[in-house]
Amino acid sequence: MVSAAKRPGWIALVGVLVFNLMLLSLQTNQHGTPGFMRQFLLDLLAPAEMLVDRGVQGVAGVWDGYFALLGVNDENHRLRAENDQLKMQLQQHDEAIREAARLRGLLGMADSGIGKTVAARVIGRDTSRVLQTVTIDKGQSDGVRANHSVITPDGVVGRVFTAASRSAVVQLITDAQSEVAAMLRESRVQALFKGTGGRDLELDYIEDDYGVEVGAEIITSGLDQIHPKGLPLAVISVIGEKGEHFRLMQARPRVDLSRLEDVLVVIEPAPPTGEPQRPASPASPAAHGSRRNDG
Amino acid sequence: MSRFRKIGSVGSSLLVPFAVVVIQGILAYRFRVFNYFDLPLIYCVYYGFTRSKPVASAFLGGGLGLLQDSLSRHAMGTNGFSKALLCFAAASTSLKFNVDQAITRIFALFLFTVADRLLVSILGLAMGTGQGEIFSGGLMDLILSGVFNTLLGLIMFGFRDRFRHAP
């Protein structure tokens, strides 16, 4: 028998637990995902995160600035020489780009850019050990929505999991629940890579593993309807023994996800150009892509 | 005077959870080692042990957990459920046992870390949002997390004891 004095404690606990279970059940049934609560809390937390992040960045900037003064003269000379070399390379590349544009025009193809992007800054990381998500300082007010691709010039970072009004949570490609439709750059063989929860990606499906070697480049195939086609994804780092259907493989992401600072969110992907994309048939596992959410 | 103290207490009870979650997010992003820490959990145990108020602890744990969930891809309520239960358990423990002893604190911090990971894993598996983090992360990962949380918790309790007994 619970005494009257102790009852309020238990009632409060049961109330809080039931409230959380109700939230969970809403998400299980998918009738009304409590996205509003996630967005509300994200909006509450984001300004504080931005403020603290700027403070930390400011302190780091002053520190770096002081040490940058040491040896700045040597670095200046080195950079001038490097600048001259880059100028020459740029002139050569300019010519190559003009030629490519001319040929593209002749073939009747549109610009193969990745589309409209928004630059964002990483302001926080997931508070649990295993899940791999980061928080960015751009949200719905900047056009960011769930399932938008997040990239850097080096390659794919992940996808937007939830977008609040001024911030968003990004699921990294290495997250254990992440899947990316990909293909090998050289052989154009379709594959599906999933996150391991650690630093690497793991092969989940491949059409044909013959001839795949360590160091092979993996790019996005665009079949998951999230990441634009042709973005650098990872490099095959380990090829193991033959599994049930194909050899087990691991790949190291092209982007160093532990040192993310600035990213781009693809808010309006360019229409597919270049090579015709294979239609996504339900039978092909590679066509399933990342596990999407409507958050 | 007591009114100001009460307002300050309520204000800190509301603001500190926000600060804890924000600091955990920033530190985990800047320093990889902070991925092993769970500041919200440590604060839950600390609050439960020092305040000994089960009702307030249950609400605080629920709120902290929901804030944590909003910054991750966990289903909303996963950490809320776990933290509310553990925060309540910490407060209830402090009413029945002497939690001023270091050995009690060590056991409690370590066991609460394991219990939290277990609960979050089970709920994650049930919701399909996790793959049993306690298993995928590895036993060593769990032990390290427990050890780090215990050490940080002990430091926090140490500071509190020092200020409490200060003349």
Residue A38: CB partners within 8 Å, gap ≥ 6?
A: A162, A164, A295, B69, B70, B76
Is the CA virtual torsion A178, A180, A185, A189 positive or negative? positive
Q: How many residues does chain B have?
A: 167
Predicted confidence at residue A253, as pLDDT, reads: 92
CA nearest neighbour of B46 among B158, B142, B162, B167: B158
**Do B34 and B77 form a contact (C-beta atoms < 8 A)?**
no
Q: Two tokens at B155?
A: 């430091």
Q: What percent of chain B has pLDDT over 70?
A: 91
Q: Which of residues 86-125 of B touch A (CB under 8 A)?
A: 88, 92, 120, 123
Give the ipTM of the model, two decimals please.
Answer: 0.84
Give the span between the Cα atoms of A250 and B139, in whole angstroms. 22
**Do A210 and A246 form a contact (C-beta atoms < 8 A)?**
no
Residue A292 belongs to a domain: yes
Q: Please tell me which residue of chain A has the smallest CA distance to B91.
A: A9
Question: How open is the CA angle B12-B115-B15, to the nearest 5 degrees?
Answer: 10
Segment A94-122 shows an average pLDDT of 69
Q: How confident is the model at residue A293 (pLDDT cuts 50, 70, 90)?
A: very low
Residue A40 belongs to a domain: no
Chain A CB contacts of B78 under 8 Å are 20, 24
Shortest CA gap A241–chain B (Å): 21
User: Tens digits of per-residue pLDDT, A119-173?
Assistant: 888 888 775 656 688 999 899 999 999 999 999 888 899 999 989 888 999 999 9
Looking at the structure of chain A, the number of domains it has is 1
Question: How open is the CA angle A199-A201-A202, to the nearest 5 degrees?
Answer: 135
Segment A255-278 shows an average pLDDT of 73
A168 or A242, greater pLDDT: A168
Chain B CB contacts of A204 under 8 Å are none
- In order, the DSSP letters of B21-82 are HHHHHHHHHH-GGGGS--HHHHHHHHHHHHH--HHHHHHHHHHHHHHHHHTSSSPTTHHHHH
Q: Two tokens at A25?
A: 């059940």
Residue A138 belongs to a domain: yes
Residue A193: CB partners within 8 Å, gap ≥ 6?
A: A173, A179, A180, A182, A201, A202, A203, A204, A218, A233, A234, A251
The pLDDT of residue A270 is above 90: no
Residue A38 belongs to a domain: no
- In order, the DSSP letters of chain A are ---TTTHHHHHHHHHHHHHHHHHHHHHHHTSS-THHHHHHHHHHHHHHHHHHHHHHHHHHHHHHHHHHTTTHHHHHHHHHHHHHHHHHHHHHHHHHHHHHHHHHHHHT------EEEEEEEEEEE-SSSS--EEEES--GGGT--TT-EEEETTEEEEEEEEE-SS-EEEEETTSTT-EEEEEETTT--EEEEEE-SSS-EEEEEES--TT--TT-EEEE-STTSSSPTT-EEEEEEEEEEE-SSSEEEEEEESS-GGG--EEEEEEEEPPP-SSPPPP--TT-GGGT-S-----
Is the CA virtual torsion B42, B47, B53, B55 positive or negative? negative
Predicted confidence at residue A3, as pLDDT, reads: 52
Q: Using the structure block, give the residue that is written with the tokens 């007591």.
A: B2
Q: Which of residues 18-77 of B touch A (CB under 8 A)?
A: 18-19, 21-26, 28-30, 32, 35-36, 38-40, 54-55, 58-59, 61-62, 65-77
CB-based contact A130 B133, cutoff 8 Å: yes
User: Tens digits of per-residue pLDDT, B68-114?
Assistant: 888 888 888 899 999 999 999 999 999 888 888 889 999 999 999 99
Chain B interface disruption, residue of A126, A127, A170, A178, most B CBs within 10 A: A127
Query: Where are the domains positioned within chain B?
Result: 2-165
The model's pTM? 0.71
Identity of residue A292: R
Chain A interface disruption, residue of B34, B57, B72, most A CBs within 10 A: B72
Q: What percent of chain A has pLDDT over 90?
A: 14
The pLDDT of residue A5 is above 80: no
Q: Using the structure block, give the residue that is written with the tokens 């087990």.
A: A248
The ranges of chain B with pLDDT < 70 are 1, 129-137, 165-167
CB-based contact B75 A27, cutoff 8 Å: yes
The dihedral over CA atoms of A145, A146, A148, A152, expressed in degrees to the nearest 10, equals 100
Cβ atoms within 10 Å of A166's Cβ, excluding its own = 17
Residue A59 belongs to a domain: no
Residue A178 belongs to a domain: yes
**Distance in Å from the first CA to the final CA of chain B:** 21
Q: Please tell me which residue of chain A has the smallest CA distance to B146.
A: A129
**Do B86 and B45 form a contact (C-beta atoms < 8 A)?**
yes
CATH number at residue A260: 2.40.10.340
Domain that residue A156 falls in: 114-270+280-295
